[in-house]
Structure 1
Amino acid sequence: MRKSESNIVKFTLDPDNLPPLTAQECAELEAVATMPDEAIDYSDAPELTDAFWQVASTPIPEVKKQITLRIDSDVIDFFKDTGRRYQTRINAVLRAYVKVHKNVHGH
């Protein structure tokens, strides 16, 4: 893959394959879990008024289309070896490709 002009490196976190927590992170989560609600500082969180909930919505997931696609066996094996939901990961790779090329070609 070609390095971008700005030397930006992108990392993607797979929510189905998260890295293990460190001992410090586990301790911090435990401290928050045992903290009483009264001790939590909400001063930087805006109040969610009735007006907010009137315009709030749940995004509708995009409809997927089932197709037949011929893909090299080594490519399929690679994705299958990453575990469950490998087709979702293939879709994510294709979506990233489309996003980059839409930006480049102005579509």
Structure 2
Amino acid sequence: MADQPRRPRTLSDARSEAEAAFKRATTKVAEAPPKVTTAPGIREQVTLRIDQDVLEYFQEGGPGWQDRINAALRKAAGK
């Protein structure tokens, strides 16, 4: 291949390239889609640290202690 002579770069060319590069680097990425709300009654598994005495209090009532904790949390949250 024959070497082609380099065309001298003008200030406006360099500025245009710099502005285009800056625009590409600073353009906001499309926002994430909105979080889908879940249907009522669907529960999500989480890990929660509760003081031992509080846990024992709810477990003393036998099976259903997790539902009782959930009800207490809903009441505290005003739901």
TM tier, shorter chain? 0.3 to 0.5
TM-score calculated relative to the size of structure 2 = 0.47
Q: Taking CA–CA contacts closer than 8 Å with sequence separation of 6 or more, which of the two structures ends up with the larger relative contact order?
A: 2
TM-score calculated relative to the size of structure 1 = 0.36
